[in-house]
Amino acid sequence: MMTKKRLLLIITILLIGAIGIWGFVLARHGIHLYQARQEVKSMLAGGMDTISPAYAFQLLNEIDQDLTVIDRSLGWTYPILNNTGKTTAQIQPSVRYLKSMVKYALLFEEKLAPIMDQSVENHAEMTSFLNDLLGDQALISQSVYYSEEITDYHAKIDIKALPFRFQDDFLMLEPFIPIIKSSGQLLPMLPEMVGMTQPAQYLLLALNHDELRGGGGFITAMGTATINSLVNIDLQLQDSYQVDDLSKDYPLPPQPLQDYMLAGIWVPRDGNWSADFPTSARTVQQLYELSTGQETRGVIAFDQQAVQQFLTVMGAIQVDPEQDLWVDASNVLAYMQESWGQSGDSENWWANRKDFVAILGKAMLQNLINTRDYKKMIELGKVSKNLLETGHLMVYFTDPIQQQLLADLNLDGAIDYQGGDFLYWVDSNIGFNKVDAVILRKLSYLVDLTDLNNPTARIIMQYEHPVEMEVPCVHEATYGKEIAYTNMFQRCYWDYWRVYTAPGSQLINAAIQFVPGEYLLRGIDWRGELDLISDLPGLNMVAGLQIVPTNSLRQIELDLALSPEILSYQSGVIKYQLNLFKQFGLNELPVIIKIKIPDQMHFVSIPENVSVNQDHVLLEEIIFKQENFLIFSFSETKQN
């Protein structure tokens, strides 16, 4: 008969063996996961377009096995770990967060294989691939499930509480979270958005950033893209002037267009006056529908920079088979300018001067539809995101849910005040020319916080017109005697400028130049009557008029009293946040930001590339992104 001691010994041996096996299995998968971690980091650092799909999915399947075993093995310990410390409490949400991320990626392994293997060879196969992908309700349901699960676990993770060596791993995944979150909402709507269920029609706006307006460049051409599937798109673009139907009852345009361009009606080509893109998009949509009777489910606006950037990825495309004419990123701008002025002495030149827009657009679209290279598709996606962030590609959806997805990704082009200080300078070319192609700008913002209860700021906007030819400033709609696009650069710059600032700011003084009536269409002097009623809700505005002759420098200076509410206080630290916006369509904006604080205080944290002096910091750089956030914090200096 087995004694109690012997039974206890057997149980102890079995328990130790089980723990040993448990520990061995856990350690084996943990070590493999740690090694795979290095490979994943290397792949992400190299870029998605450098990754071998077959190897990536193989690695993800191995990681999925590791995480599944680790999660199952640690399951009984989670209640203990969650209550034994801040760091150990991160283990369960971290493991399940990573596990859900991998499961989400593996959902698409089989579906994307035809594209990754480059086995899709024609339009019929591409249509079949898209129908199979977007028509798979089980796939869509699972993607929604995992995107929500990833979002939930992500919210439970405190990256700063993780061991330092793993913090970078989780930070590398952060950019994917908004995309995954939005994909769970987007995928169920995607078939309808891309015309898989019925044709989807979008309004296209070809903008000219050589003639800036609030919502980007002047609308030089417009039309529709009717999508029957992603490989069957009917593109129609025409000169924006040809859209006008003067038999329609158009509304009155914004007051500056009435005052300085003598516009009596608001036609579609002038619809993007607002500096808030969703507002501009809705206005153009309404005016286009009034003109043509066509309803659209969204707006896609792009300028020359977008065309050039897309061609850097797409490569050369043929625009004229008869002449064997090809364009690429290096010569497309010259092609546009030369095509605009081609046959300038012909009778029908004006009516045909923008025909190249539709020709180029259709050639680029056909190239895109014929693309089967997944690496090129990934690169086009990256370029599109960059163009959205820099204000050269703008998208608006009529459906509020779809529009909110853009807002969640901060890609909607909306100008929203989110607290702190705010600065957004907007120029509108009202001179019937293309002078924005050559105008050089520099924006300085000098903030004085030495009196925390009464902060002030000075805005200095400098303009340089580098064209050396002296020309008289005649405000008229003319193309000149010699038709050439670049001749439109050799004009004076008529500019209706607007600057938007934080709520509570007040204009103290303005150093501006008056404009004699002889330089204006209406013949009435502009004596510095500034417009102070903002057209953007929640923001203050100062607006006025200026003329910049060729071969000259001009400068506008505005002194403001800022609200003390732009500052926030926490635990003895004062935070100053500046929301700095660059105008849509503007390629770049050199800025100088100077922040001065009280003598008895010192800076605690500042953005990169900022030089620190005794009582102020200075930032000099060129901004390219449309939206920029700068945070400065400072506190009282302790006396020894």
Has residue 640 got a pLDDT over 60?
no
Q: In the predicted model, is pLDDT for residue 433 greater than 70?
A: yes
DSSP three-state, residue 43: helix
Q: Give the pLDDT confidence score for residue 77 in this predicted structure.
A: 84
CA–CA dist 560, 447 (Å, integer) = 9
Tell which CATH architecture fits domain 421-636: Sandwich (2.60)
d(CA 313, CA 148): 33
Instruction: Give residue for tokens 């489910």.
Output: 297
Q: Give 103-117 pLDDT, tens digit per residue.
A: 999 998 888 888 777
What per-residue string of b and e applies to 40-55 under the rule 16 or more CB within 10 Å gives b? Answer: beebbeeeeeebebee
Relative orientation angle of helices 400-408 and 176-186, to the nearest 10 degrees: 170
Least confident range from 117-121, 191-195, 271-275, 452-456: namely 117-121
167-199 pLDDT tens trace: 888 888 888 898 888 888 888 998 899 888 899
Encode pLDDT of 58-108 as tens digits: 888 988 998 898 888 888 888 988 888 888 899 899 989 999 999 999 998
- Given this model, what pLDDT does residue 519 score? 96
**Alpha-carbon distance 488 to 341, whole Å?**
11
Q: Is the model's pLDDT at 505 over the cut of 80?
A: yes
Mean pLDDT confidence for 480-507: 92
CA–CA dist 184, 146 (Å, integer):
8
> pLDDT band for position 21 (50/70/90)?
low
Q: How would you classify residue 504: left for phi > 0, otherwise alpha for psi between -120 and 50, otherwise beta?
A: left
Query: Tell me, what's the pLDDT at 358?
Result: 87
On whether the CB atoms of residues 609 and 638 are closer than 8 A, the answer is no
Stretch 215-236: mean pLDDT: 91
Pick the more confident residue, 181 or 7: 181
**Domain span(s) for CATH 3.40.630 in the chain:** 200-408
Report pLDDT for 230.
74
CA 240, chain centre distance (Å): 25
CA distance 446 to 443: 10
Q: What's the fold here for domain 200-408?
A: Aminopeptidase (3.40.630)
Average pLDDT of the chain? 90
Distance CA 516, CA 547 (A): 10
Cα 624 from Cα 388, distance rounded (Å): 11
Question: Per this entry, what is the length of the chain?
Answer: 640
Would you place residue 467 in the very low, low, confident or very high pLDDT band (cuts 50, 70, 90)?
A: very high
Element (H, E) at 104: helix 91-106
Domain with CATH 2.60.40 in the chain: 421-636
Written as six digits, the tokens of 550 are: 């060729």
For the segment 563-571, the average pLDDT, to the nearest whole number, is: 96
Whether the predicted pLDDT of 348 surpasses 90? no
Which residues are bridge partners to 317 per DSSP?
327
Paired residues of 216 in beta bridges: 213
pLDDT band with cut points at 50, 70 and 90 for residue 5? low
CB atoms under 10 Å from CB of 185, counted, come to: 16
Segment 514-520 shows an average pLDDT of 96
Average pLDDT, integer, range 267-296: 98
- Taking 70 as the threshold, does the pLDDT of residue 489 lie above it? yes
Helix H or strand E encompassing 193: helix 190-193
17 token code pair: 């063996």
User: Could you tell me the pTM of the whole model?
Assistant: 0.91
Phi, psi for 225 (deg, rounded to 5): -120, 115
- Residue by residue, what is the 3-state secondary structure of 279-348? HHHHHHHHHHHHHHCCCCCEEEEECHHHHHHHHHHHCCEEEECCCCEEECCCCHHHHHHHHHHCCCCCCC
User: DSSP secondary structure string, 439-475?
Assistant: -EEEEEEEEE-SSTTS-EEEEEEEEEE---S------
The answer to whether the beta carbons of residues 377 and 371 sit under 8 Å apart is yes
CA angle 378, 383, 385 (to 5 degrees): 95
pLDDT at 349: 59
Q: How many CA atoms lie within 13 A of 106 on its CB side?
A: 15
Task: Give the span between the Cα atoms of 112 and 114, in whole angstroms.
Answer: 6
**Residue 46 — very low, low, confident or very high, per pLDDT cuts 50/70/90?**
low
DSSP state of 89: G
CA angle 489, 213, 463 (to 5 degrees): 55
Instruction: Tell me what percent of the residues of the chain surpass a pLDDT of 70.
Output: 93
Strand partners, 160: none
> What pLDDT is attached to residue 24?
60
What whole-number distance in Å separates Cα of residue 579 and Cα of residue 627?
A: 7
CA dist., res. 441 & res. 554, Å (int): 10
pLDDT of residue 22: 57
- Residue 546 in contact with residue 285, Cβ under 8 Å? no
Mean pLDDT of 369-375: 80
Whether residue 353 has pLDDT greater than 80: no
Distance, CA of 18 to CA of 242 (rounded, Å): 81
